[in-house]
Structure 1
């Protein structure tokens, strides 16, 4: 049995660190981890992708406000998450936190659900990558090419970088992230100072607009922009001074992401006007950002945005690939996946085998999407991204509950009631409410297909059910 199951009411120490041969290596500081998870959020990719989908299928001109609402709920989650971090001695993120609070079996189920959610999201973002590269090259006179051709080319590069030390990925992500943030902020400033198309949008502060349409889908696509911010904890083995680094990186990443998306999505709506923004997002969402930058920044600005959109989406894929590989690595180290996947590279200190296994599954999903003839954005990306969002909202809520239970049983640890119980409890309630809204609107996400909506729910239930099934093979952290 695990530490948490044998000593449920004591201040048991966090699990021991993994053996050296199974420990990842790195020297990541606060900003390196912030770049890693902010790149997963893909600032420009979100403004050019999920924002348009959220406006068209969610709550229209009120959609930017959902970033504020989601950000507040996730801040409450982060308070408890960071309070518990010093008491979680492994890099298992959702799985490790839930295990410490709710027991090994539930934690393993959370690990499988997280793996499935992030894996589908990594694969789904290739549905943005392919058309993004195609649109860019067509603008320079090249012929149209099927989306999956460029997706597979990007896949090869991601696979190579995933094999190497994490610091190489961090440097690649940092350069791209700074460039895309700068160009979006320039666009925001130009729209604001020009007054937009007939005045700046008021939807962000209008209760009528915020609650219009399908706010559940609005919340879903808003949360999609935050996915990965909690993965700061996944990099704790590769972090410098993880106890402080992880907490600081989590708050920084969450705050920057929330403010950036709220302001930039509001500026995009303002660029068209409240009514026209909904029409454009519905009719030509894939080019909504490009068309707006053409108008406000000119041809040069539009081309720069097209290039950086591609690099942004690539950075997002690479970041999620690193996250997924570390989930695979952690589960393999516990014996619930083949143990060979839990071995670090002798020279790079990377989860190279876990990375290769992740690549194999992603390649299969890309090929299946291509063979099925799915529309890259409207079906392949939207369906897989929506599935991932549902899964991660469940995991956020479950982790918040785990934090409450953990500190309620271990009051002697000295963590304040507000940090350890009140904030995560309120966060749990808010996230549970979000989940209800999302499930009520789930069929709208998948083209009105009830069977497909039930498939989404069923796959997540199955992932959680695997926890108790494989628990007998689990090796508690630090033991073999």
Structure 2
């Protein structure tokens, strides 16, 4: 019996240029759910979905997004054993559609994840300032706090991934616990006017603005592909990645839907939209006000602190994912070779991490100098860019699954339901989601048609650029069944 050094974590990363570790299913799920930032979504995305979307029917938007992503995950998991590198979507697309589409997908992911990370930095700056002022401290510009958080993320992202996993795990447990308690108390007391069953009435679900709710629901799932990004650092990737993927989607979807429903119930069917709108106007806070009413002022203060820790966990997780994208691309010669180096002591993609920090800082500086509002101008618009990119990534990946198994029938370890039916259904569902998102895009960005069109085209433009350059690189090197 031999010892696999990749599983024990003792492999020197300089030997083969890959990352190593022994993360289990729980650790990876922590990373993924932390990237989804449960408290951030409940405190930020939910008011946006309720006020700008389909009102009391917004919780169903989160369920719809979860169902579509579960269907997508069936094909994603079926292809996982045949993709032997930690490139996530771009490795999957390369396996099925070739280097051009693969690099286009990689560029799209870089744009999407950078956008949502910068958006969350804006939200975090606003939340930190609100926290400091609430406890009697001085008021400051949101970007001051955003850059302070960016500096801390830079330090942790430079070190080994297991340190980040521990930090994210502690923050995640606390924020989920307090929201679960809030949900339970709201439903136990019945809200202001009873449990809002109108949430599931078709006339409240299928409104003209349901696309806004679906968009912010999908935004809440951004980062769940990290189950594959961390495959080189997983204890048993062929088993850990599928388990973590399904578990992450189910936990995230149920948690978001129930929490959104609880906040709607807590405010009451008649007042939910108005209360959510006051949150966007800075005149109230749907999450904090509901917590104060049902759990008391002390836990209200606790939630406000945890909201900041949730935002921190979110940007740290996105930082780790982006650094690993750059690390993988550098290993293929697409990005400078220095980005593919690992730290001799921390076994982390340290150079890629530093570059990612500089990139985020530059984009954040541009938005700050433009004088944008941190919630609508920064978080809202960047969430829109990221969601368009995410849907494009998911759709292309599903097409790649179909093509891969059509070309390699001998590689099918699962039946036609996983290799043909589910991926095809995912493509149709994702195209429907994209139409809903784009048809309501100006409501999300808070800008005119011209600006919204430019923002919506950023992710597709990145794909086209990558596709044009993709013929110059051999990205398909570590797949099986081809």
Tell me how far apart the structure 1 counterparts of residues 417 and 460 of structure 2 sit (CA, whole Å).
32
Secondary structure in structure 2 of the residue aligned to 1:275? coil
TM-score if structure 1 supplies the norm length?
0.94
Question: Is 1:32 matched with 2:23?
Answer: no
Deviation at 1:213, TM superposition (A): 4.2
Q: Give 2:157's aligned residue.
A: 162
Secondary structure in structure 2 of the residue aligned to 1:335? coil
Q: Give 1:3's aligned residue.
A: none
Tell me how far apart the structure 2 counterparts of residues 457 and 149 of structure 1 sit (CA, whole Å).
28
Query: Which one of the candidate residues 223, 229, 234 is aligned to 1:234?
Result: 229
Tell me how far apart the structure 2 counterparts of residues 165 and 238 of structure 1 sit (CA, whole Å).
11
Q: Give 1:110's aligned residue.
A: 105
Q: Give 2:8's aligned residue.
A: none
Tell me how far apart the structure 1 counterparts of residues 236 and 354 of structure 2 sit (CA, whole Å).
29
Question: Is 1:20 matched with 2:15?
Answer: yes
Moved more, 291-300 or 195-204: 195-204
Tell me how far apart the structure 2 counterparts of residues 108 and 212 of structure 1 sit (CA, whole Å).
37
Question: Is 1:364 matched with 2:358?
Answer: no
Q: Give 2:68's aligned residue.
A: 73
TM-score if structure 2 supplies the norm length?
0.93
Query: Which one of the candidate residues 294, 300, 303 is aligned to 2:301?
Result: 303
Secondary structure in structure 2 of the residue aligned to 1:452? helix
Query: Which one of the candidate residues 337, 362, 371 is aligned to 1:339?
Result: 337
Q: Give 2:175's aligned residue.
A: 180
Query: Which one of the candidate residues 245, 249, 274 is aligned to 1:250?
Result: 245
Is the 1:335–1:473 Cα contact (8 Å) retained in structure 2?
A: no
Deviation at 1:156, TM superposition (A): 0.4
Deviation at 1:264, TM superposition (A): 0.6
Tell me how far apart the structure 1 counterparts of residues 421 and 40 of structure 2 sit (CA, whole Å).
35
Tell me how far apart the structure 2 counterparts of residues 452 and 20 of structure 1 sit (CA, whole Å).
48
Structure 1 gap segments, 5+ residues each: 1-17
Deviation at 1:19, TM superposition (A): 7.9
Tell me how far apart the structure 2 counterparts of residues 457 and 54 of structure 1 sit (CA, whole Å).
19
Is the 2:112–2:385 Cα contact (8 Å) retained in structure 1?
A: yes
Query: Which one of the candidate residues 93, 103, 116 is aligned to 1:98?
Result: 93
Tell me how far apart the structure 1 counterparts of residues 264 and 461 of structure 2 sit (CA, whole Å).
39
Secondary structure in structure 2 of the residue aligned to 1:226? coil
Deviation at 1:204, TM superposition (A): 2.8
Tell me how far apart the structure 1 counterparts of residues 399 and 116 of structure 2 sit (CA, whole Å).
24
Q: After the TM superposition, which residues 451-462 of structure 1 pair with which residues of structure 2 at under 5 Å, given as runs?
A: 451-462=450-461
Tell me how far apart the structure 1 counterparts of residues 247 and 198 of structure 2 sit (CA, whole Å).
27
Q: After the TM superposition, which residues 192-203 of structure 1 pair with which residues of structure 2 at under 5 Å, given as runs?
A: 192-203=187-198
Question: Is 1:63 matched with 2:63?
Answer: no
Question: Is 1:294 matched with 2:275?
Answer: no
| Alpha-carbon spacing, 1:448–1:147, altered in 2? closer, same or farther (3 Å) | closer
Tell me how far apart the structure 2 counterparts of residues 390 and 458 of structure 1 sit (CA, whole Å).
8
Query: Which one of the candidate residues 63, 77, 81 is aligned to 1:82?
Result: 77
Secondary structure in structure 2 of the residue aligned to 1:24? coil
Tell me how far apart the structure 2 counterparts of residues 19 and 76 of structure 1 sit (CA, whole Å).
38
Tell me how far apart the structure 2 counterparts of residues 275 and 411 of structure 1 sit (CA, whole Å).
55
Deviation at 1:402, TM superposition (A): 0.8
Secondary structure in structure 2 of the residue aligned to 1:212? coil
Tell me how far apart the structure 2 counterparts of residues 203 and 87 of structure 1 sit (CA, whole Å).
45
Deviation at 1:381, TM superposition (A): 0.6
| Alpha-carbon spacing, 1:190–1:142, altered in 2? closer, same or farther (3 Å) | same
Tell me how far apart the structure 1 counterparts of residues 96 and 116 of structure 2 sit (CA, whole Å).
26
Tell me how far apart the structure 2 counterparts of residues 438 and 256 of structure 1 sit (CA, whole Å).
23
Tell me how far apart the structure 1 counterparts of residues 411 and 314 of structure 2 sit (CA, whole Å).
37
Tell me how far apart the structure 1 counterparts of residues 138 and 345 of structure 2 sit (CA, whole Å).
42
Q: Give 2:10's aligned residue.
A: none
Is the 1:64–1:262 Cα contact (8 Å) retained in structure 2?
A: yes
Q: Give 1:320's aligned residue.
A: 318
Deviation at 1:199, TM superposition (A): 1.0
Deviation at 1:150, TM superposition (A): 0.8
Is the 2:62–2:213 Cα contact (8 Å) retained in structure 1?
A: no
Moved more, 460-469 or 377-386: 460-469
Q: Give 2:446's aligned residue.
A: 447
Q: Give 1:465's aligned residue.
A: 464
Secondary structure in structure 2 of the residue aligned to 1:227? coil
CA-based RMSD = 1.4
Tell me how far apart the structure 2 counterparts of residues 427 and 203 of structure 1 sit (CA, whole Å).
28
Question: Is 1:209 matched with 2:204?
Answer: yes
Tell me how far apart the structure 2 counterparts of residues 443 and 360 of structure 1 sit (CA, whole Å).
30
Secondary structure in structure 1 of the residue aligned to 2:354? helix
Is the 1:162–1:321 Cα contact (8 Å) retained in structure 2?
A: yes
Deviation at 1:461, TM superposition (A): 2.5
Structure 2 gap segments, 5+ residues each: 1-12
Tell me how far apart the structure 2 counterparts of residues 380 and 348 of structure 1 sit (CA, whole Å).
33
